[in-house]
Chain A
């Protein structure tokens, strides 16, 4: 996802896997990062979204985008950015494929027994 300028403190923001890095616009190295697990992405007023975390829901990290369209793109991207979301997607697809074809799609990869692809009850 290409970096979009976020106003308020004019940061360049870059989503890399489940981290949101932010930069001062003229620098190559990030000044900070947010881990995007157990967080809530909320569309606020026009062009603005916020990120808050489960253990401190009243604290919002606000981001203002250049356009409403960009804002929507960011909200969608960030909602899917967590590792846990990805994991849930995998389990969902695995289930669906198994129901439809009768076969576990992970078997052919030899990873069907991996703890990380199981439903919560089977993991450590």
Chain B
């Protein structure tokens, strides 16, 4: 399956900030060595950006040797012989699991936490929840006012489900760092809060559900307030798409590595 590799590699190595990075030992999955009984691990430099976990041969490698797309997966502690091991497992049983080993307890916990919340689905869920909250806050504030409802009349059109104030991928500079400065937008003049509505919500919105995880987790079950329809169920077309990606990378890594190593040697300064 083709992928826009060059763009992917660029994204992996550009200086947009990573959500997490560090060395991990990755268990080598040997499918073809029938006589090989032991397990071995390879130390790789891992970089998490959004829902993508890249790994590099070295910290300063110019291109990743692999990519794990963190959708439809769970991150669990692992009953491996190794201490500080955890696994990324996919809902699609056909996709290979990744067993990773951290340097210590703190590192392992940090990785598991970072990876558990890495999916696009999770981010989307949180964004939708905040959208609703903002809408409610705006409404409360508008209801509070005795004067006519303040509209965002100064030309700042805002549609809550379309954060049009955010720069879209039009300017490369905005892309590189991913962030822009906002104006003082919003319904509020001086940040005054209507006192009646401080405790207006009877209970706080429910916690965004963690991905269902086999490992015991206090937040394992979907929160009651969020309808299941908001969660994208792993419908088979999506699963097929991602398992194809995973398989492709898993099988072709050795070949790709060789290619990349050769290119690096040739092009290396």
Contact = CB atoms under 8 A, between A and B. Distances in A.
A53 B5 CA distance: 11
Interface string A89-115: 111111111011110011011110011
A28 B240 contact: yes
B169 A124 contact: no
Interface string B1-35: 11110111011001011111100000000000000
Given A38-B175, A96-B134, A115 B114 contact: yes
Contacts of A100: 134, 137-138, 141, 186-188, 191, 193
Nearest to B191: A99
Contacts, number: 193
Interface stretch (B81-89, B202-210, B259-267): B202-210
Nearest to A40: B169
B127 interface: yes
A83 B17 contact: no
A35 B170 contact: no
A10 interface: no
Interface string B102-137: 000000000001100111110110110011011001
Contacts of B126: 90, 106, 109, 111
Contact of B240 (A29, A40, A80, A96): A29
Size category of the binding interface on chain A: 35 or more
Given A40-B169, A86-B120, A89-B127, A124 B19 contact: yes
Nearest to B235: A16
A87 B178 contact: yes
B120 A124 contact: no
A56 B4 CA distance: 11
B238 A83 contact: no
A79 B138 CA distance: 26
Given A18-B120, A108-B204, 8 more contacts: A30-B244, A34-B4, A37-B50, A83-B52, A90-B126, A96-B134, A101-B137, A105-B133
Interface of B: 1-4, 6-8, 10-11, 14, 16-21, 49-52, 69, 71, 113-114, 117-121, 123-124, 126-127, 130-131, 133-134, 137-138, 141, 163, 165-166, 168-170, 172, 175-180, 182, 185-188, 191, 193, 198, 204-205, 207-208, 237-238, 240-242, 244-245
Interface of A: 14, 16-19, 21, 28-35, 37-41, 53-57, 79-80, 82-97, 99-102, 105-106, 108-111, 114-116, 119-120, 123-124
24 contacts: A14-B237, A17-B120, A18-B51, A19-B245, A30-B1, A32-B1, A83-B52, A84-B175, A85-B168, A85-B169, A87-B123, A87-B178, A89-B163, A89-B166, A90-B123, A93-B134, A95-B182, A97-B134, A100-B138, A105-B130, A114-B117, A116-B50, A123-B17, A123-B19
